[in-house]
Amino acid sequence: TNTEMKSGSLKLANNTSKTMEGSSHYSHADESTNESTYAHFAIAMKETKAIKSVRLVSIFFLFCVIPIAIGVYLYTANAEDEEFENQYFEFANKVLESIGATLENSFGALDNLATSVVAAAHAANQTFPNIRVANFGIHAAKTLSLSRAKIIVMCPVVKGGQFEAWHNWTLQEGRTWVDETVNVQKTDPNYFGPIVEEYLTRDEIHTRNGATEAIGVHLPSWQAYPIVPTWPPYNYDYITGLTYTTAHTEMLEKGSIVITTPYLNPDPNDEAAMENAISTAGWLYERLHPDEEPLEPASDLYFPIFDDLNTFETDTSKTSPVATFGVTFYWRDMIRDILPESAKGILVVVDCPCSASFTYRLDGSETTLMGRGDLHESKYNDMELTSVITQLDSFRIRQTSYSGPGLDDETCPIAFRIYPSQATEDQYMTNNSLIYSGFTVLICLTAALLFVIYDRYQERRQKVFMESAEKNDAVVSALFPAAIREKLYANQQTQREMEKKGGGMRALDGNNAPIAELYTDTTVMFADIAGFTAWASAREASDVFTLLESIYFEFDLLAKKYRVFKVETVGDSYVAVCGLPEPRKDHAVVMAQFSAECRDKLVGLTKELAKSLGPGTESIKMRFGLNSGPTTAGVLRGERSRFQLFGDTTNTAARMESTSFPDCIQASQKTADLLVEAGKSSWITKRNDLVAAKGKGNMVAYWVEPSGTVKRDSLSESRRVALRQFGVPEDRLEHLIDFNTEILDHLLLDLMVYNKTVDAAQAKSGRKVIRREDSSEEMKRYGFDRTTPRESVLEVIPIPKLDDKQDSPKRKSSTDKALDMKVKNQLHDFVTQVAHYHSNDNPFHNFDHATHVAMSVRKLLARILKPLHQQEVSRSNNGSRSVASKAAKFDKILRSTYVLTSDPLIQFAVYFSALIHDARHPGVSNGTLSNEGNEMAIRFNHKSCAEQNSVVVVWDLFLSDRYDALRDAMFGGNMERLRRFRQIVVNSVLATDIFDRELRDVRERRWTKAFSDDDVSALSTGSQEMESVEGDLRATIVIEYIIQASDVVHTMQHWTVYQRWNKRLFCEMMSAYQAGRADKDPSEGWYGGELWFFDNYIIPLAQKLKECGVFGVSCDEVLDYARDNRLEWEQKGKEIVKQWMEESS
């Protein structure tokens, strides 16, 4: 084959040279043809060698088939063994963990019941033992459900001197609670068993042998659930009447929870033991479901009750139990419903040193008693996983929340031992190892056959390739000289080799050298925005890019001015270099000047941007880092090629930036030396401390200030001063007023255009537009002054509907319009007045916070999703019925909520509400106002005092004559619009009172009705009028939840933002405490209170915003921030509170 290729190439070369005769390029073509012939021959030889190599490898591979098959078999078998062991231990750990969790839940339920009992006794001025808890049966029924128990009995501690009083008390109160509990049993859906209609009572403490002596300590049964008719419902002595009195003694002496030795576990061959067990379990036969076996191991649990609600002390030398709960439970209930259905044959051996052990088998959710004793297979002894009952918390995967009495670890400690069985192992031992081995052999044989076919194909392909290459070479030889042609061949060959390796870059050989060079004298600058992530977390993506583009555009202009080369921008970092590609000696001086002017330009730019991007923008600063030295620079060819810097000089410049301070320029020793050499020693000041640079160790650094004014070495003092100034400075207040006026200006323009469009459409349709004279007296007579704001809160606010064919009424853009100067001035004056309605003495409830809330409102409104397009709903209908149904429901939700973004009146009202919701805030909670008997609390009936007051004072201001032009611009004399505007404001502001339980419960019910799957499905089947009301309900709820989330949005933003506002709120509450307006020092519960607030309000609220689907995936960010802040507060909160206290002192 090779000979034929060579022969064909020579013939083609001769023919080519003949065609070139008579041409001036004849000799050149003849020479180049010979060269190309040998080049093609070399390629052919190389390909032939490659094929031979592959043949040898394939033959070797065939000889390796048997070892490979054996290896596959062993590997698969070992993998199954490993999977069996891993899965078993996962199940075993889950069993122990679940038993611990079940016991903890039981203890927690009993602890809650004990707290309720003691609290009820204190509230009724009753003292132990003579107490009776009203509705005990209801509380006990819930406790039984949580603790998986069968009966619960409360037994007060009665001592000798209390007998007569106790007998009189039981004679007086006994039948009352029994009848009350019987009524509970009649209505309890979880109760299974007969109802007691008649019962025998004994008013003296007794046992089966009669009345007990009035000496010593006794535990008479008292209130219980359920009532058992086989014995008197109360006064049975648990100490002298039961055989295992040790449990009661341990409980009374130690104040610990005691679990008795398991009983109802008789030897089947012992008739007497079986009869005794049947007798003991007799009362349970009629109280268990038919599928529950009464004669299985059970125990009693004794839970101590202490009279002091404010202590967790269980040392009986300091405090003793005043009563106990006796609870009977089956051990099967402790280990049921634990494992998935895939789990088979897991054995649980319950071992007690004081009685016989017993074994349960778990098959998924089913639990089966195998019998008395340890019944596991001995071959699984080495896989035992065991734990004593008091050590089950070591298997827990979550932190415990139980804080009640501990479990006694000395009285017959029960142990659990977990084993697999043959059934467990059989799940994972298969024939896969043999199947895989055979399949491996088949693959190897198939691969050999395919290679034979491929080998023949490759020979033919190689022949065709040579013929084609010779033709192409003839054309190239006629077009290019030999030297250029060889470079093209070399480049093509290199490109093919790189493509075979998976890349598209060019090889770095002598003929194709990379574009790179070493520059010996350069200065590199890194600049980074300090606190950028925290600032961006409160803004829309468009605002973030507006900031970065504005800053970097100005920096680019300065770079051209100073002839500084901009390398790249990465996020909020700006990288530049001076001294390349054009070398210059003054590179350090120029870069210092460039950095300083960039910093100064940033100050003016951020002040200007603050008007559109919001407060906090004017405080943005940048860190600058400079370093000088040699730099390698060049272009990495390939896709998206770009100019890049490499080397230690660049890395050190980055370290200088990261260790600098905001608004400061930090330079390395090398840059400082160059500035000194250039006569600029006055520009630099040595930093007092060494800089700990990552990967560089401690370094000497210098502050650079070309103006001659050096920044201070430490900012700690300035930070401390800033942290104390929580009030809004006058210049910042002006910025806030201007910013909010600008936002409301745009919203008002949209509202005016919208109103004009709607009025024109109504006039065209023949509907009369009703208008009334705009005066404050008219407005007051309209009904706004008849009720308090809280009384006028509506469950559903009527919302204008969107047309099916458009998102909103077609109207001209407002971007080319401007407000009348009188309206503009009144709007600015109104915002100014609202700003001054916020006290600067409040670190938290001030106008700065109101603006922060308003910005969040604006952000959330912008993120409400549009309804699905009709084709999307139709496309869903072509799929499964469930998918189509979900798409239709979701479309209904979006159609009822997207109107919030298309109705300017709603947007203006919600933003307006955010600005005023804390107006005239007193700096203390509503509860404090009520406790003080404050005039505000009396006026508003002690409900939502601060919120209602904010509405009233601002509404009075808004209705004054000084804002007549503003109102006319907003409503055009249409009183219906004014009424709807006020209703939105009232609902929104009152929604910020999250501690009003009545309002909170109403919102919860409305949320469930509007957004749960079942309720949405039910709502979707109503009439068109009903669907309209339901849509208004969803829109109303979304409005309220938007402002609720915005009011606490700092908890769902970057950690820095959260801590800034969290500290302000802490200081505000501390000020109230120090002024004597609060009973409790906030520092004592601030750490735990924040965790509670996250768990019970913030994270559930963020989850609701996500689950409703109205805001799309944008609420993932909110939920992630909330969870991250909660976790970081849990880790750092205690130290932070401690630091705040030190600063306040």
Two tokens, residue 306: 């202490």
Looking at residue 861, its pLDDT comes to 82
Indicate the residue type of 929. Answer: L
For residue 682, give both structure tokens. Answer: 């006055």
- End-to-end CA, the chain: 96
Q: pLDDT tens, 336-349?
A: 888 998 899 999 99
What is the sign, positive or negative, of the torsion defined by CA atoms of 408, 413, 419, 421? negative
Token duo for residue 908:
């203006």
More confident residue, 244 or 999: 999
- Give phi and psi for 699, each to the nearest 5: -130, 150
Residue with the larger pLDDT of the pair 941 and 77: 941
Q: Which of 36-50, 207-221, 711-725, 868-882 has the lowest mean pLDDT?
A: 711-725
Average of per-residue pLDDT across 82-93: 90
The span from the CA of 677 to the CA of 628, in Å, is 13
Least confident of 57-66, 481-490, 979-988, 1116-1125: 481-490
Handedness of CA 1097, 1100, 1102, 1104 (dihedral sign): negative
Q: What is the Cα 86 distance to its own chain's centre?
A: 30
What lies within 8 Å, CB to CB, of 490 at 6+ separation is 509, 511, 512
Task: Give per-residue pLDDT as tens, 523-581.
Answer: 999 999 887 877 777 777 788 888 888 888 888 899 889 989 888 888 788 999 998 87
Query: What was the pLDDT predicted at 324?
Result: 94
Q: How high is the pLDDT of residue 242?
A: 63
- What's the pLDDT at 724? 39
Least confident of 121-135, 607-621, 802-816: 802-816
Nearest to 704 by CA among 618, 630, 594: 594
For the chain, the average pLDDT equals 78
Per-residue pLDDT, averaged over 1023-1032, amounts to 68
Q: pLDDT tens for residues 626-660? A: 999 998 887 665 566 567 788 888 888 888 888 88
If pLDDT is split at 50, 70 and 90, which confidence band does 451 have? confident
153 close to 144: Cβ distance less than 8 angstroms: no
**Which amino acid appears at position 368 of this protein?**
T
* 853 token code pair: 């809330």
442 φ, ψ (degrees, to nearest 5): -60, -40
Separation CA 973–CA 977 (nearest Å): 9
Taking the C-alpha atoms of residue 688 and residue 663, their distance in angstroms, rounded to an integer, is 18
Q: Token pair 């030297």 is at which residue?
A: 483
Report, as an integer, the average pLDDT of 827-855.
90
Would the CA dihedral through 1042, 1045, 1047, 1052 be positive or negative?
negative
**pLDDT tier for residue 1025 given thresholds of 50, 70 and 90:** low
Lowest mean pLDDT across 531-535, 910-914, 976-980: 531-535
Alpha-helical (H) ranges within 255-372 are 271-280, 331-334
The arithmetic mean of pLDDT across residues 109-138, rounded, is: 92
What confidence score (pLDDT) does residue 594 get?
93
Contacts of 726 (CB under 8 A, 6+ apart): 843, 844, 846, 1064, 1067, 1068
With tokens 């052990």, the residue in question is 357
The vertex-189 CA angle with 185 and 195, nearest 5°, equals 30
Residue-level pLDDT at 739: 85
For helices 730-765 and 821-836, angle between their N-to-C axes, nearest 10 degrees: 130
Q: Is the peptide bond before 630 cis (omega within 30 degrees of 0)?
A: no
pLDDT band at 303; cut points 50, 70, 90: very high
pLDDT of residue 814: 54
Q: Hey, what amino acid is at 619?
A: S
Q: What does the pLDDT look like over 754-768, one tens digit per residue?
A: 888 888 877 776 665
Q: Which amino acid is at 301?
A: L
Q: Residues 782-791: what's their mean pLDDT?
A: 66
Distance CA 259, CA 302 (A): 6
Asked whether the predicted pLDDT for residue 1002 surpasses 50, the reply is yes
Least confident of 299-308, 485-494, 613-622: 485-494
pLDDT at residue 362 is higher than 90 = yes
Asked if residue 875 has pLDDT above 50, the reply is no
Query: For 1122-1126, which contacts have Cβ atoms below 8 Å and span 24 or more sequence positions?
Result: 1122/1051, 1122/1052, 1122/1094, 1122/1098, 1123/1099, 1124/1055, 1125/1051, 1125/1052, 1125/1055, 1125/1058, 1125/1094, 1126/1091, 1126/1094, 1126/1095, 1126/1098, 1126/1099
For a pLDDT cut of 90, what percent of the chain falls above it? 23
The whole-number pLDDT of residue 531 equals 79
Contact 572, 529 (CB under 8 A): yes
- DSSP string over 620-650: -EEEEEEEEEEEEEEE--STT--EEEESHHH
pLDDT in tens, 467-477: 766 666 664 45
pLDDT at residue 28, rounded to an integer = 35
Beta carbons of 850 and 837 less than 8 angstroms apart? no
> Which residues have C-beta within 8 Å of that of residue 900, sequence separation ≥ 6?
799, 861, 864, 906, 907, 910, 1035, 1038, 1039
pLDDT at residue 816, rounded to an integer: 56
pLDDT band, residue 1012 (cuts 50/70/90) = low
Please name the residue ranges forming H helices in 383-531: 422-426, 432-479, 482-500
The residues near 559 (Cβ < 8 Å, ≥ 6 apart) are 565, 566, 576, 594
Q: Which residue has the higher pLDDT, 40 or 679?
A: 679
**What length does the chain have?**
1145
pLDDT in tens, 801-829: 654 444 444 445 555 577 889 999 999 99
